[in-house]
Structure 1
Amino acid sequence: MTKYYWLKLLGSIVLLTLLPLCWIVAELRSEGDRSVPAENGIVNLHDRDMTTSGAVRLNGEWLLYPGLPLTEADFSKADKSPLRQGVAVNVPDVWNGLPGLESGLGTATYRLRVHLPDDASGIYGIRTTNIRMASRIYVNGEEVGGSGRPGLDREGTLPGNTPNVGFFKLQGSEADIVIQVANYSYASGGIVYPIWFGTQEAIVSSRELGLFEYWLTAGGFLIPALFLLLFFRLRRREAPLLQLGGFCVCSLLFVLTHGEKAALALLQALNYESVLRVQLISSAFVYYFLARYIVQLYPKFGVRLLDRLVLIISCIITFAGLALPTAQFSRFEVLLLVCSLLSIAYVLYVLIRAVMTRRENTLALTASIQSVLIILLVYLLNGFGYLENQAILPFTIVVFSAAQAYQIVSRFAHLLGHAERMSERLLQHDEWKDEFMLSTSYEIREPLRSIANLAAAAEQQEAGGGGSERLTMITGIARRLSYLVDDMIDFSLLKSGEAEYKRRVVLLPPVVRSVLELYPPQALPGWEVEVLSPNPPPLLADERRVGQIIHSLVAYALQHAGGAAVRLAIQAEEDRVALIIAAPGIGSALSTEREEPEFYRADESATESAERVRLSVTRRLIELGGGEWRARGLESEEDEALSISWPIASSEAIAAAAGASEASGRTLPAFDGDYREELAASAAPEAPGGSGSVLIVDDDRLGSQVMRQLLGEERLAIKTVASAEEGLSLLKEAGPFDLVIVDLVLPGMSGLELVRLIREHAAISELPVLLLSEGRLPDETLAGFRAGANDILVKSYETSELRARVGTLLELRSSVRRLVRTETAFLQAQIKPHFLFNAINTIMAVCRLNPPQAEALLLELSRYLRASFDFGNLEQRVPLHNELELVRSYLAIESARFDDRLRVEIEVGSGEWIPVPPLSIQPLVENAVRHGIMRKPEGGKVRILIEPAASGWRVTVEDDGVGISSDRLSEIGESTGDSGGVGLANISRRLRLMYGEQLHIESWPGEGTRVSFNIPRESGA
């Protein structure tokens, strides 16, 4: 790293120091080539090719005539008088100290005769840059330019020292140049910068190059000035931005008031004396702002004495520029030179110290030092008259500004990067904190719910004992802590913007009613509800969140009412519906919620902190739904009141909700206004009684034990397992359960996957599944229902909620069973007309030929009809011999019809008394006869086999008929048989309900079909 550092440092020295020095040396050498020294007012250019040599400086001895502005005509007369001989003076230089011009103020005339080659006729030009302070130029008696208006005194002179270019047509080989100069506004006068002479092309080229250098320098200060000052407006604490911006602004003013003096062109109303004042003040503050910027950038290396000294000198110069006449304050140039040398030396000192400490951006510091040194060198050489061309200055100034801009940008990039890293860390820590709080809340909530539920159960058992009061206290504490955890979870979700809010059309009165029904009658003393606006319009809000808000505020009102009457009112406003809660102390909710919630404060109790958090969450929920709350009173009361209002639903939303309600056959409940009698009559919800078997699949042993205790009172047979694999195994081995409760998160196979596997063997109506969820993610509910769950219960359940949901699902299972049994009995009673017609025709035909056989067939038909109309088939199971009796009767009638085309083989063994579902074999035999055997001309054989199997008994009905095609076989499971008959789907559904089994169908087209099912041994006991 050090190797590359020194290489870069060496490269910057070569680029920014050696190359500019080489340019300066070359420029000093070339100045002699571009100027021919004049002697005693004459310059000889006989041997110079003016078309190729370019413009030349007319430096050397000019003749000066103090006192009067003269013209060529005056000189023609004066040549005859020795009294009018001029004084030879050096140009460029000030005329201070010359006879008649000792103070620098006065009027004089310069004269120079230029001898050119004999063939030099053409258009020539003359260019001036700085003649103090007014001038007029003549060539061969023709006025070609000037600046201002020279006069004989201060009143007759108009200062206007601006660059000038004039052109003239030369006839002959001599140019007589006369320049009138007057100065009454500056401390020094005369031609202080060289005058250029040459052809038109040479002068234009020189002028354009000068303008380019001028505007490049101005732009080099303008752009950084705008950038830095705008940046400072955004970052006012960064003083270096202001200091460097001030340096660029003052440098820009210095440039605009020197050289081309563009300030006069840009501001027409600005007089030249104002330009002189701006020159002096901007020059002083250029060095002040430069020194202040470097010191503030590196305050460690600043010297307080030098800081004050630079400031004092700058203030003195500024005061002189504002208060003194221009001819007086211009004498402070020496003080300005001292200020500039002191400031630059100070800047170099600080920068060198910074480089020696190897601070950040050392290369930029080195570039700044080198550019400042070059600027100082150029100004010194120019001040002593050795270097007129200052074209290197724009380059060095741009390098300095770029180096400082790079330092600032680099610094801010470093600060921005640091801020971004800190922001990312803060966001990560904030996310971790929220996740920790959320996960901890969930972890805390479950034990709290378990405590509350167990205490509630024990409280009911110990209602007559002395421990009931203590258990009630435990229940209340656990529920209060559980509510606080719920509020913490809501607060975390609201803060992260993840809180759900599902807007829909909601009627406020039913929501209020449902919330108040949660409270026992004794908890609502003096409770009054009034509807101030009949038929208030529906809201556009989240029904669950509205209920949560009402519940929170009702609980707050009850706590602060102190047993006094609490009144509720519902009132429709312009575009909102308001719920007004009036109670003593309810107004304090507005002041309590205004503070930002914290979960602990030293000056309040845990109850007060929990109350404040809940109110803050309530306020955020109200605002989330576009609601408002404010203090107000009821029209008939003077008590404190709190009004919560929500926006009403639009007509489009109401129409859409009405259409959905009509399609589903539901109606919205009406609001009575006063339902205290209903509350008094209502009691704690009771779970339905009855019996059934429940399988709980949950790896949380504590949760499973709590659920067993809560459901054990319902006279249920409960089995618990800790994994999905154990649950599947138990479902297969122990037969069907009436309900399966599955936790969403299980080790290994997830709860959703277990539900999907259950649904592969049992329909949603045949085996209900209750899915337990944490309720953290919005998609959990949808995923659970898609997997096949009948219901989903969030784990933070109340005892009554669990019992109600379990009772509902058990009732569903029981209803489905009753429906299937009823369907079976009624379907059996539907005798097929063509079967009865065929059976009677067969008996009539046999009566004439074989009366005893006809009698036997009538007996079989009587048995068949008696079994068909037997409503004892509502039972779940019948003995196998009863089912076989129906089968034999059916086969006896069919055999009489088809003679030897139908052959029957029945093998039962010792299983005639095993219980089987009614109508589980006869429909299979009927399908085999009608759709298999009778479709073959030669007929076939039906074989009925009941044999022991590994887990019970296996019933098989097979035939050697036409078989079933693959397409038909894929549809057979959903078929309901022929019209009005008992289909295979009914048998399969009953088998799943009773045994968790289903029909197994195998078929080979042209060879036959085999249909079988298993009966578990436990069921056959």
Structure 2
Amino acid sequence: MVSKRKTLIILILFVIAITGLRLTFLHYQNPPAQPRAAEGVLDLRGWTIPDNRTLTLNGEWEFTPSRFIQPESLSAGSPAASASFIQVPGAWEQAFKESTDSPYRYGTYRLRILMDDNSDETYKLRVNRINHASAFYVNGQLAFQNGLPSENQDPSKTRVNPYSVTLPSGGGTVEIIIHVSGHAGNGGLTESIRFGTEKAVNQLNLLSVGLQVGLCVVFLIHGIYAAMLFLFRVASRGLLYFSLIMLMGMMTVLVADEKLLFVWFPMPYEYHYKIAILSYIAVVAFIPPLFRHMFDAPGKIKKLRWFTVYSACYALFLLISPARYIETSLILLGLGFLFSVIDSGKILIRAFRKNEDVIYVLIGLTALGVNILWTIAEGRFDLEWIHYPFDLAFAVFAFAAFWFKRFFRANAQTKRLADELRRANRQKDDFLVSTSHELRNPLHGILNITHSVLEDPSSPLPDEHRNRLEIQIAVARRMSFMLDDLIDITRLKESTIRLQPGNVHLLPVVNGVADVLRFMLDGKPIALHIDVDGQFPKVRADENRLAQILFNLMHNAIKFTDAGTIAVLAELKHGLAHIHIKDTGIGMDEETRNRIFAPYEQGDSERIKAVGGFGLGLSIAKQLVDLHGGTLDVVSSPGQGSVFTFTLPLAVETDDEASIISSLPFIPDAHSEIAAASVPSDEPERSSKTAAEVPWRSAPRLLIVDDDPVNLRILEDMLCTWHYDVTTAAGASEALAELETAQFDLVISDVMMPHISGYEFTRLARQRFSVSELPILLLTARSRPEDLYAGFRAGANDYAAKPVDAWELKSRIRSLIDLKLSFEERLRMEAAWLQAQIRPHFLFNTMNSIAALGAMDVGRMQRLLETFSHYLRTCFDYRNADKTVAIDRELSLVRSYLYIERERFGERLNVQWELDESLHFLVPPLSIQTLVENAVNHGLLPQARGGTIHIRIASSEQHIEVSVRDDGAGMSESALQQVLEAPPSASMGIGIRNTDRRLRQLYGAGLQLHSTLGEGTTASFKLPKHQWAAEKKNTN
């Protein structure tokens, strides 16, 4: 809440701001210092008339009262015989010496303007207002006539529209004669006439009109949107009053200054006056009811109604009265204005104490008050300026800000209440689900104990006790169905129910449901008829859900039927099964039928109190039928019973179902699979087989992440039984550290962990490993869609809901490991395939070199042929599909390739070796060869001079570094980035990208590329010593 002191400071600062803005505006609009007219002459000789400012023709004008002197009757330079001099602008009443009872006056104004001769400049006059009719003569010629000046009063001949007059070009002396007729009090030249160049006057006119039109647009826009909001929200009458005030405010602007309304729609002055006063009284009349609705102010409505009647009567008086009586009645307008101010002030004072938005209204009223004060000052002190719109615009914006603030607050409150309602609804659903789950355990205990008592052969029960226990079982089953309803309505809202459709016989399901509900018929004269043919075709449905649909509909029929029959019928129609549940119960009216399928909606309230229930059965039945692709409808009338009809698709019948079943892939039994995994077998597991193909690992490696040591131990024991190499981590941080130092085939992570959740851990792991390089399986206790989506968005490959079924977990682990191994195999085969695809031009050029050497040097030819043969054997070697090969084999391939290229290109290709011969380690096949071939073909050979390739293998404390450097053409920074990031191109191939991906897969880091245009390129990679040492040991 804004305090009074703060409000006062804000309003004072606002007044200072808008007053400063107006004074600044006036400073740039006021005419410069200029000569004044004296004795009917304005001497502008020797004075430069500015091109961007206008002057005023203020001063002493020659005036002849009660005569219209024609220009041709006046001698140049001499005044008329009965003329006198009066100040313009100003009142003309003192110039009329003879007294008369008539308020009507007329006369002739005359002024001569002396200017320097200037044949190139055109000047113009701007007349804003002359009351009430005028004829304007320039150098003896009639230039403009506004109305018809006459010696006798005739309202139909009056006009007060602004107009402009163009003066003859060339300067010199200009004589102006104006015939004026009007009322004694406000007639004559009461406002200044503007004078200046044609450009300056046009700019002034355009600016004034533009400002007025802009302000009208502001009023119109706010009026229209307020009216539209009122139409959309009928109860908010304050918007209607605000819209009317905006439209009436626009009218007050249109009749002021440039009088745009009368320019567009010419009419006598009498209508000008009436429209202006009507606009003001309308604004005054609408403000009090507006404030009452804005602030919900209590008060005497009778007083407001009397003020409304007063304003309407005054408006009617304005419409029917002659113009001469209106001026004397303006005191009535003042009284209405006073009442409006007092009543509105009281409302604002009360609203200020409890409504923080009242500050916007106060700002708007302040702007309006400042504008009124300046308007009074303009008339009182004969101030002259063009239309100033900003005060009124600020007022409109302030009122609009109030409405917008209220709208946004109401919208925010509505959103907050809606969120609270949704949250409460969700809490209600969660409570019901939790309660249902809690009630299930004792309910199932009751059922189990009752069954054990009934089936105990050692203690046979009397028939009466047995019947009572059977009723108890039936009641417990019905309660179980009701608990299922509570759970299912929440699952249906969340769309988590998944049907398991099958081919279902309808009659057994109907009979089963009827048996469950039959106990409810005890004591009621109701006959339950099942009219379903035993040969009725099978339907395509989820059997459990179909039973739930029938139970809900039949249960509803029994509850609302006191006597009569309840029948279940089935028929075929239009290729669908139509199942009807008919009853002779109380029925429903149309209003109840329209809402009966909504959750928690029930029929007759008195009846509901007697029979109870949640009002969920029909809603669940409707949604389940929709999930089956059917429809559920009801036909009912009060007292006539109801007929519920739902449809189901028919099952697809086949002649030889056995042949179809035999063609399906074999799915082993879960129990036999788990048993086989826990017992030693001569036949290895499928996943172990796949892992055995990898030469340096005996079993797939799994990393388990969970903060619960019990869960870790259980999973570790189970997975070790299945012949997996298991590593455990007690949290995400420890798991990330394990990923940095070791390689795993699968990560199994819990979702709910402290500090770093399973989702965040997955995101961090995905920064290094792709979904195919390192599969991640999330274990979650929540299987809602939003939880699963969060895991997949984080980068998980799969999920399993707790408690995890062993067979399901084993299948998911196997599929994910197979995915990773197949990805690794694809990378290796891709590299081998690339090497096997020897480019035709390389083959042809080598053969040509061999042929040429045969005629020149047989010894060199033989050595080249042997080297080429070795190169081909190595390229097609099956070991290229292995993960790693010995460094000696890789270097042998590189040496063969470089020998062939040196024989072809001679001194253009130089090779420098820097090798540590004591190093014996494993590298991915074709990794160095790819780098060397790329350096030769894309770095050195495109240059005419060729170049040198430097191959270096060095050892450090933790790594072995392999680098291939050339002094060739080099690459730009953008081209270097595209080598590994962009899709493969024709020029670069996919060898570099394949090598980079295989290195990342094996060692966690790929190629390092550095290049400079004109200086060459370096490609390198590092092998962790601990890892290649382990690989070498496993290989040996």
Q: Output the TM-score relative to the length of structure 1.
A: 0.56
Which residue of structure 1 lines up, in the alignment, with residue 228 of structure 2?
Answer: 230
Matching residue's letter, 1:572: L
3-state SS, counterpart of residue 467 of structure 1: helix
- RMSD, aligned CA: 5.5
Distance 1:398 1:23, change over 3 A: closer
Matching residue's letter, 2:805: A
Matching residue's letter, 1:529: D
Residues matched between the structures, number: 695
Say which of 469, 477, 483 aligns to 1:485.
Answer: 483
The 5 Å alignment of 1:285-364 reads: 285-294=282-291, 296-298=293-295, 311=308, 314-337=311-334, 339-340=336-337, 343=340, 357=353, 360-361=356-357, 364=360
User: CA contact under 8 A between 1:111 and 1:176: conserved in structure 2?
Assistant: no
| Pairwise CA distance, 1:319 | 1.5
Which residue of structure 2 lines up, in the alignment, with residue 664 of structure 1?
Answer: 661
Which residue of structure 2 lines up, in the alignment, with residue 788 of structure 1?
Answer: 806
Matching residue's letter, 1:399: F
Which residue of structure 2 lines up, in the alignment, with residue 984 of structure 1?
Answer: none
Matching residue's letter, 1:243: Y
The 5 Å alignment of 1:472-551 reads: 472-494=470-492, 496-498=493-495, 500=497, 502=499, 510-517=505-512, 527-530=529-532, 543-551=543-551
Which residue of structure 1 lines up, in the alignment, with residue 408 of structure 2?
Answer: 413
The 5 Å alignment of 1:812-827 reads: none
Matching residue's letter, 1:581: I
Which residue of structure 2 lines up, in the alignment, with residue 722 of structure 1?
Answer: none
Distance 1:132 1:576, change over 3 A: farther
| Pairwise CA distance, 1:249 | 1.7
Which residue of structure 2 lines up, in the alignment, with residue 552 of structure 1?
Answer: 552
The 5 Å alignment of 1:760-771 reads: 761=721
Matching residue's letter, 1:129: N
User: CA contact under 8 A between 1:43 and 1:112: conserved in structure 2?
Assistant: no
User: CA contact under 8 A between 2:125 and 2:201: conserved in structure 1?
Assistant: yes
Say which of 437, 441, 452 aligns to 1:442.
Answer: 437
Q: Distance in 1 between matches of 2:783 and 2:609?
A: 26
Distance 1:276 1:562, change over 3 A: closer
The 5 Å alignment of 1:645-794 reads: 645-646=646-647, 648=649, 663-664=660-661, 761=721, 783=801, 787-789=805-807
| Pairwise CA distance, 1:255 | 0.9
Which residue of structure 1 lines up, in the alignment, with residue 374 of structure 2?
Answer: 378
3-state SS, counterpart of residue 610 of structure 1: coil
User: CA contact under 8 A between 1:557 and 1:586: conserved in structure 2?
Assistant: no
User: CA contact under 8 A between 2:254 and 2:260: conserved in structure 1?
Assistant: yes
Distance 1:258 1:566, change over 3 A: closer
Whether 2:384 is the aligned partner of 1:388: answer yes
| Pairwise CA distance, 1:229 | 3.2
| Pairwise CA distance, 1:106 | 5.1
Q: Distance in 1 between matches of 2:332 and 2:34?
A: 33
Matching residue's letter, 2:481: Y
User: CA contact under 8 A between 2:114 and 2:172: conserved in structure 1?
Assistant: yes
Which residue of structure 2 lines up, in the alignment, with residue 630 of structure 1?
Answer: 634
User: CA contact under 8 A between 2:219 and 2:250: conserved in structure 1?
Assistant: yes
User: In the TM superposition, what whole-angstrom CA distance separates every residue of 1:784-827 from its partner, at most 9, and x where no partner exists?
Assistant: 79733599xxxxxxxxxxxxxxxxxxxxxxxxxxxxxxxxxxxx
User: CA contact under 8 A between 1:38 and 1:58: conserved in structure 2?
Assistant: yes
Q: Distance in 1 between matches of 2:545 and 2:92?
A: 90
3-state SS, counterpart of residue 122 of structure 2: strand
Say which of 418, 426, 430 aligns to 2:421.
Answer: 426
Distance 1:331 1:300, change over 3 A: same
| Pairwise CA distance, 1:127 | 0.5
User: CA contact under 8 A between 2:133 and 2:158: conserved in structure 1?
Assistant: yes
Which residue of structure 2 lines up, in the alignment, with residue 877 of structure 1?
Answer: none
Which residue of structure 2 lines up, in the alignment, with residue 130 of structure 1?
Answer: 129
| Pairwise CA distance, 1:488 | 2.8
Which residue of structure 2 lines up, in the alignment, with residue 214 of structure 1?
Answer: 212
User: CA contact under 8 A between 2:635 and 2:644: conserved in structure 1?
Assistant: yes
Q: Distance in 2 between matches of 1:600 and 1:444?
A: 27
User: CA contact under 8 A between 1:276 and 1:326: conserved in structure 2?
Assistant: yes
Matching residue's letter, 1:142: Q
Which residue of structure 1 lines up, in the alignment, with residue 643 of structure 2?
Answer: 642
Larger radius of gyration: 1
Distance 1:48 1:440, change over 3 A: same
User: In the TM superposition, what whole-angstrom CA distance separates every residue of 1:805-861 from its partner, at most 9, and x where no partner exists?
Assistant: xxxxxxxxxxxxxxxxxxxxxxxxxxxxxxxxxxxxxxxxxxxxxxxxxxxxxxxxx
3-state SS, counterpart of residue 497 of structure 2: coil
Q: Distance in 2 between matches of 1:604 and 1:10?
A: 65
Distance 1:476 1:219, change over 3 A: same
Q: Distance in 1 between matches of 2:539 and 2:110?
A: 100
3-state SS, counterpart of residue 190 of structure 1: coil
| Pairwise CA distance, 1:621 | 3.9
How much identity, in percent, do the aligned residues show?
Answer: 19
Which residue of structure 1 lines up, in the alignment, with residue 916 of structure 2?
Answer: none
The 5 Å alignment of 1:198-277 reads: 198-264=196-262, 266=264, 274-277=271-274
* Range with bigger deviation, 436-445 or 108-117: 108-117
User: In the TM superposition, what whole-angstrom CA distance separates every residue of 1:250-283 from its partner, at most 9, and x where no partner exists?
Assistant: 1111111222222245558x77655543322112
Which residue of structure 2 lines up, in the alignment, with residue 454 of structure 1?
Answer: 449
User: CA contact under 8 A between 2:31 and 2:54: conserved in structure 1?
Assistant: no
The 5 Å alignment of 1:2-81 reads: 10=9, 13-14=12-13, 16-17=15-16, 20=19, 24=23, 37-38=36-37, 41-46=40-45, 48-51=47-50, 54-65=53-64, 69-75=68-74
Q: Distance in 1 between matches of 2:1035 and 2:290?
A: 103
Q: Distance in 1 between matches of 2:608 and 2:293?
A: 51
| Pairwise CA distance, 1:511 | 3.0
Q: Distance in 2 between matches of 1:640 and 1:303?
A: 55
| Pairwise CA distance, 1:131 | 2.0
Say which of 86, 109, 112 aligns to 1:111.
Answer: 109
Q: Distance in 1 between matches of 2:469 and 2:345?
A: 84
Which residue of structure 2 lines up, in the alignment, with residue 708 of structure 1?
Answer: none
User: In the TM superposition, what whole-angstrom CA distance separates every residue of 1:745-788 from its partner, at most 9, and x where no partner exists?
Assistant: x997899996996586489xxxxxxxxx9999689997479733
* Range with bigger deviation, 379-388 or 459-468: 459-468
| Pairwise CA distance, 1:286 | 2.4
Q: Distance in 1 between matches of 2:208 and 2:1034?
A: 107
Which residue of structure 1 lines up, in the alignment, with residue 140 of structure 2?
Answer: 141
Distance 1:166 1:119, change over 3 A: same
Matching residue's letter, 1:381: A
* Range with bigger deviation, 468-477 or 34-43: 34-43
Distance 1:332 1:102, change over 3 A: farther
Q: Distance in 2 between matches of 1:588 and 1:405?
A: 50
Which residue of structure 1 lines up, in the alignment, with residue 469 of structure 2?
Answer: 471
Q: Distance in 2 between matches of 1:130 and 1:323?
A: 26
Matching residue's letter, 1:552: N
User: CA contact under 8 A between 1:290 and 1:347: conserved in structure 2?
Assistant: yes
User: CA contact under 8 A between 1:92 and 1:192: conserved in structure 2?
Assistant: yes
Q: Distance in 1 between matches of 2:310 and 2:514?
A: 84
| Pairwise CA distance, 1:314 | 3.3
Q: Output the TM-score relative to the length of structure 2.
A: 0.56
| Pairwise CA distance, 1:17 | 2.2
User: In the TM superposition, what whole-angstrom CA distance separates every residue of 1:842-887 from its partner, at most 9, and x where no partner exists?
Assistant: xxxxxxxxxxxxxxxxxxxxxxxxxxxxxxxxxxxxxxxxxxxxxx
Matching residue's letter, 2:207: L
3-state SS, counterpart of residue 579 of structure 2: strand
Distance 1:608 1:406, change over 3 A: same
Q: Distance in 2 between matches of 1:319 and 1:588?
A: 57
3-state SS, counterpart of residue 132 of structure 1: coil
Q: Distance in 1 between matches of 2:642 and 2:278?
A: 69
Q: Distance in 1 between matches of 2:334 and 2:70?
A: 38
Q: Distance in 1 between matches of 2:1034 and 2:403?
A: 89
| Pairwise CA distance, 1:526 | 7.5
